[in-house]
Structure 1
Amino acid sequence: MPETTSEEKSSPTPPKKNGKGRSTRSRSTAKPSQTKATASKSSDKVSYKLLINADEPEECRIALLENGKVESFNVETVVQAQTKGNIYKGIITAIEPNLQAAFVDMGTGKNGFLAFGDIHPEYYCKDVGNAHWKSLNIQEVLLKGQEVLVEVVKEPTGNKGANITTYLSMPGRYVVLMPGSDSHGISRQISNEERRAKLREIVDSAKLPEEIGYIIRTASEDVTKTALMQDIRYQLNLWKEIKKKGQTEKAPALVYKEQDVVARFLRDHFTPDIEEILVDNQEVFDKINEFMELLPARQRKTKVRLHKGSKPIFNQFQVEEQIEQMYRPAVPLPSGGSIVINPTEALVAIDVNSGRTSKDKNFEKTIFLANMEAADEMARQLRLRDLGGLIVVDFIDMRDKKNIREVEKQVKNAMKKDKAKVDMSRISKFGLMQISRQRLGPPIQKGNYITCEHCQGSGMVKSVETTALALMRRIQTAAIKRQISGIHCDLPTKVAQYLLNHKRSEICEIEQRYKVDIIITGNPAMTPADGDVKFIRNS
């Protein structure tokens, strides 16, 4: 389950400050070098600020800033509301032995894809003993029309429906409960063995039912026993309600709807490291204060303020330009270079360009600097854009093997902030690094952008000349058959003008030779890809 994977891998929250982040006042007797060192430490302090833009009912946006730079961005629109985390009572409509999967009608318009490995044995229609699902045939243990309780683990994309599972997970602030599982785990980010043992002891004292597994989340590292038990009780009561609705509702039906984007972000990403939360909506402001009151006293240091300025909240903190940058292919680097991000059907290609750094006298040093900057920015852009699958990064070629190892190390460190599962290779002799990254949600453009009606998403349209010549060939081919008496062409204005100005003699020749009337009119309302050609047959 995704929640389990991400928690086991890394913390979903900003990294905690270390001692270097604290500013210290130097004594009057300190040496100049000591004073400089102290000032440097103070300037390295990391400041986190959370901005929530919810003043418009159609859209809610959340940006986490690290020293003014966007490190995390979430958006939810009315057009594209999230379904990941929703639990449905569905009906199996088709079983595909070749795919070893079933399709489930959840009442959402698109059938969900249920892989055999995501089907709990309790749904098998016959006893299979201790046999593993890989040794079974799906058509022998499932029935068409069978009802199942499923959770969405991956949003639908394009014509594909959502990926679903019968292994449910219910994330709370401190604990993820997993009905139907017997696995128990603790986030790897909690490294203190004594604390890990104490947390296990607390959860075990809750006496969870045997059929419910759990994952103790990173946020529980310094939480009290009371808060942890309260979270568990809430999740157990929620599971009872879900189970009851699952038994009484008529399939297909929505049994549980995941919380809104603000509640999800606070639950999964909030840490006391966030110094301030600014929000521009009174209702959301009240909701955040309610959340803060549920936290242990030592985690309530974060200030929550209602933004009342005339300037939009994201504009006031220079966030809009950073968000717009996320939708552009090229991202500038501080030293003058850039990275260019091109998602394709098979993979995501990222090219590192040196820019003006290549003109520097110390070529190797400046190339190394550009690659180090690219490593940081690339990791940030992968998180912000939520790019998944295979990612190939073409770094600028370096001769020094020590520099190559340093860039690899920089990529690895930059990726530690990522909540998604990430695997990466070393830089090859061709300067390429391969990265595999788990996508956490739908593409960020979905819900905000639509496919261009002119180019249909290709980014290019045919030139006027090419379009006109293609139409000429079509007209000539139809006229040769001698089965038509007229051709009426309603075309984009520029195409019509080109034909009438540059191809008039050819058109007249076709009319005379094949005895057809050709009428061409320009329509300014048509896009370059449009064009209506009607052939009038002989009576």
Structure 2
Amino acid sequence: MSDERSRSVLDRVSKWLGRKKETNTQDHNPEENGIMPADQNQDAPSSNPSGNKQPGGDKKEPAAVAAGDGNGDTSEAAKKTTKSPSARRREQRARAKERAAKAAANGETPPAEDKPAAAESPVAEAKTAGAAKASGGRGKGRGTAKAATKAGDKSAAKPTAKKPAKEAAAKSDEPAAKAKTAKSGGGKKSAAAAATKSTPKAVVGTSYKLLINTDEPEECRLALVENGKVEGFYIESTSGAQCKGNIYKGRITSVEANLQAAFVDIGLPKNGFLSFSEIHPEYYEKEVDPDTNWKSLKIQDMVKKGREVLVEVVKDATGNKGPSLTTYLSLPGRCLVLMPGSDSAGISRKIDDEEQRRKLREMVEGLNIPEGIGYIIRTASQEITKTALSQDMRFLLNLWTEIKKKGQSTPAPALLYKEQNIIARFLRDHYTTDIKEILVDNEEAAEQVKNFLQLLPAAQRKKTTVKLHQGSQPIFHQYHVEKQIEQMFQPTVPLSSGGSIVINPTEALVAIDVNSGRTASKDRDFEESIFIANMEAAEELARQLRMRDLGGLIVVDFIDMRSAANTREVEKKVRECMKKDKAKVDFSRISKFGLMQISRQKMAAPIQSSSYKTCPHCEGRGMIRSVENMVLSYLRQIQTGLHQRKANKVLCRLPLDVAQYIFNKKREDLLELEKDYQAQIIIEADPQMLAAENRIEFLKE
């Protein structure tokens, strides 16, 4: 009786799942309906047709049911006179299935816990079948598909595998989505999500505003502003005008074999440095076979002192170093860079559209460029017409002809070509249609900008408006730029989260330190606070490098992070922010010490060098010696001088505060020195002397 009741329950459950099953197990045909009987395993056919359990069946059956086997044999539990705990559990499962079958018959939704796991989704079904096989069970979905394939009846597998799986998958996706939403809405936010919120993404189609301040004749300043924030700053003063880009006729004054370089007099206070690799073969004293290994050549064999050369300044003089020179000249235009003495031709790498590159090549091929002159098509040529390209080429060729004529008639050293002023250079090299507005506070400069825009195609020209600033306030104050520029000259840059970065340029490299400051909050954990500070620092340091024009080797000390994923996110942020930079930038990954090395091309001298000079008090160290330390140092100098020079009189001229300290604190020490060395020591206070200055004379009378 119990056996029949169990079979009846199973039949009702099978009907609820959309499968047909005959009540008479003797007439059941697995090949017809695509369903394997409960006591038969398709992978290993049973040798016990009576339906009795094999040894060990008690262990396999619960595993099969847990894996989604709807055909577990519950009849054996009913035959036992004494009900074991496992038997009671099987009875409970049977009653639950019976309730589910009744609910299905009445059109009600069965309880969620009674739903077979195999019907959740195709992926879950595959996992269930594998689990059932591993535990010795009979997976219905797996057996159905195989039976249908054997019989060649594919339609039998459709209602049992595909349709219920799709419906269940759609249902199962809904609570998963709700759970995901609930998870993201409450509890602790992840560090990455918090950083994404605090660091907005770049807006597509960015628009810039260019402010030009030329009101004072001694200085010209340009600021590129995006949403009120300075993204680029350029300055040129009459006292520190750059020579980069100028072309000179010079004379070689010396050839240094150990440096494999020559020094050239071009009329500047310091001779220029010309490396052997930057000397064109046309200046060699003897012809060189094209098959010769160029690395084997030596400068002392190929170049002689007194040779006149045409050179271009590629790097301005800095500190004790003179300007760097090259004989491979280049004349930049808006669309092209002309390279006399070269046969190379190329297109900017930033133009990556192959169709556009092909069109530009065809345009240039029809311009009849003379032999021995190379060119590079610049990024600004992307939307250029053939007429504009031809005009730019003609202008550069005429300019080169004038330079050659002037060089033939002018004795060295002489300036043959002077680079344009900062406004013309910026518009030529950096202007894009993203600059929607140009504001100028000087009529002459405004006219210069308008003349430049007239040379552009009409489609580009219409996208930018030029206005003359006539407000009562200076232009940089009017648009809240002056404070940002003043901040640019400070070593510490605050971050919006409360942290900061500290920038310290040195002779060898630029050191940047990231500080968390007040980034830590009660609402965030420690790792999240550090991650947010590092993400903000990554964006700000890229901006500061552009604004301050810092080049060479740069080492950034990020705050240590425990999460490797957060470290990769910070590296990714640096890479994204560096894409705005016109200079060539390369950087390493963050090391285990939290350091990132960045190599940035030096476009020009740092902005700070043109506006600041070395402090005469500290001599650039940022600190001065204490009065006590200086007094002790001077006393030691006096004692050493008296001993070595055998002088009988010492005249000391010292700063006022140093002299006062000696009179008040070290008078007895002076008297002892006079007594020991039989000499007279005279101290004179000079209020005009700087803290680091002194004058000590030893006299013999």
The TM-score, its normalising length taken from structure 1, stands at: 0.89
1:348 matches 2:501 = no
Kindly name which structure, 1 or 2, has the bigger radius of gyration based on alpha carbons: 2
Equivalent residue, structure 1, for 2:483: 321
Q: Shift of the alpha carbon at 1:133?
A: 2.9
Q: Shift of the alpha carbon at 1:480?
A: 4.5
1:43-101 superposed Cα distances (whole Å, 9 cap, x missing partner): 88733100111111111111111111111111111111110000011111111122111
Q: Shift of the alpha carbon at 1:304?
A: 0.6
1:392 matches 2:392 = no
- Conserved? CA contact 1:117–1:133, under 8 Å: no
Equivalent residue, structure 1, for 2:579: 416
- Comparing 262-271 with 472-481, greater Cα deviation is found at 472-481
Alpha-carbon separation, structure 2, partners of 1:430 and 1:484:
56
Gap regions ≥5 residues in structure 1: 1-39
1:150 matches 2:311 = yes
Equivalent residue, structure 2, for 1:30: none
Equivalent residue, structure 2, for 1:163: 324
1:300-319 superposed Cα distances (whole Å, 9 cap, x missing partner): 22111111112111111121
1:99 matches 2:259 = yes
Equivalent residue, structure 2, for 1:57: 217
Equivalent residue, structure 2, for 1:7: none
Equivalent residue, structure 1, for 2:26: none
- Comparing 485-494 with 165-174, greater Cα deviation is found at 485-494
Tell me which protein shows more helix as a share of its residues: 2
Question: What amino acid sits opposite 2:228 in the alignment?
Answer: G
318, 326, 335: which one pairs with 2:497?
Answer: 335
Equivalent residue, structure 1, for 2:623: 460
Distance 1:452-1:153 versus aligned 2 partners, 3 A rule: same
- Conserved? CA contact 2:206–2:434, under 8 Å: no
Mapping for residues 354-365 of structure 1, pairs under 5 Å: 354-360=516-522, 361-365=524-528
Distance 1:481-1:98 versus aligned 2 partners, 3 A rule: closer
Alpha-carbon separation, structure 1, partners of 2:352 and 2:688:
65
Distance 1:345-1:262 versus aligned 2 partners, 3 A rule: same
511, 530, 536: which one pairs with 1:367?
Answer: 530
Gap regions ≥5 residues in structure 2: 1-199
Q: Shift of the alpha carbon at 1:492?
A: 0.9
Alpha-carbon separation, structure 2, partners of 1:480 and 1:43:
74
- Greater relative contact order: 1 or 2 (C-alpha under 8 angstroms, separation 6 or more)? 1
Alpha-carbon separation, structure 2, partners of 1:52 and 1:406:
37
Equivalent residue, structure 2, for 1:248: 409
- Conserved? CA contact 2:558–2:594, under 8 Å: yes
Distance 1:132-1:323 versus aligned 2 partners, 3 A rule: farther
- Conserved? CA contact 1:482–1:514, under 8 Å: no
Q: Shift of the alpha carbon at 1:474?
A: 2.3
- Comparing 483-492 with 153-162, greater Cα deviation is found at 483-492
Mapping for residues 518-529 of structure 1, pairs under 5 Å: 518-529=681-692
442, 460, 481: which one pairs with 1:281?
Answer: 442
SS of the equivalent of 1:358 reads: coil
1:445 matches 2:575 = no
218, 225, 230: which one pairs with 2:391?
Answer: 230
Equivalent residue, structure 1, for 2:661: 498
Equivalent residue, structure 2, for 1:37: none
1:218-262 superposed Cα distances (whole Å, 9 cap, x missing partner): 111111111111111101110111111121111111111010111
1:461-514 superposed Cα distances (whole Å, 9 cap, x missing partner): 111001111112222334456833332222111111110011112222333443
Distance 1:250-1:279 versus aligned 2 partners, 3 A rule: same
- Conserved? CA contact 1:352–1:393, under 8 Å: yes
Alpha-carbon separation, structure 2, partners of 1:424 and 1:484:
60
Equivalent residue, structure 1, for 2:156: none
Alpha-carbon separation, structure 2, partners of 1:363 and 1:317:
38
1:424-470 superposed Cα distances (whole Å, 9 cap, x missing partner): 11111221111111100012122311111111111111110011111
SS of the equivalent of 1:456 reads: coil
- Conserved? CA contact 1:46–1:67, under 8 Å: no
Question: What amino acid sits opposite 2:681 in the alignment?
Answer: I
- Conserved? CA contact 1:116–1:133, under 8 Å: no
Alpha-carbon separation, structure 2, partners of 1:480 and 1:216:
73
1:136 matches 2:292 = no
1:364-416 superposed Cα distances (whole Å, 9 cap, x missing partner): 11211111111111111111112112111111111222211111111111111
- Conserved? CA contact 2:534–2:570, under 8 Å: yes
- Conserved? CA contact 2:645–2:698, under 8 Å: no
Equivalent residue, structure 1, for 2:159: none
Q: Shift of the alpha carbon at 1:41?
A: 11
Q: Shift of the alpha carbon at 1:42?
A: 12
Alpha-carbon separation, structure 2, partners of 1:44 and 1:416:
14
362, 366, 374: which one pairs with 1:213?
Answer: 374
Question: What amino acid sits opposite 1:467 in the alignment?
Answer: M
Alpha-carbon separation, structure 1, partners of 2:203 and 2:311:
50
- Conserved? CA contact 2:642–2:698, under 8 Å: no
Equivalent residue, structure 2, for 1:271: 432
1:264-312 superposed Cα distances (whole Å, 9 cap, x missing partner): 0010011111111111111111111111111111112211111111211
Question: What amino acid sits opposite 2:499 in the alignment?
Answer: G
- Aligned-CA RMSD value: 1.8
Q: Shift of the alpha carbon at 1:132?
A: 4.3
Question: What amino acid sits opposite 2:664 in the alignment?
Answer: N
Question: What amino acid sits opposite 2:429 in the alignment?
Answer: D
Question: What amino acid sits opposite 2:699 in the alignment?
Answer: I
| Aligned residue pair count | 499
Q: Shift of the alpha carbon at 1:117?
A: 1.1
Question: What amino acid sits opposite 1:381 in the alignment?
Answer: Q
Question: What amino acid sits opposite 1:494 in the alignment?
Answer: D
1:170-204 superposed Cα distances (whole Å, 9 cap, x missing partner): 11001111111111111122222111111111111
Q: Shift of the alpha carbon at 1:167?
A: 0.7
Equivalent residue, structure 2, for 1:32: none
| Identical counterparts, % of pairs | 64
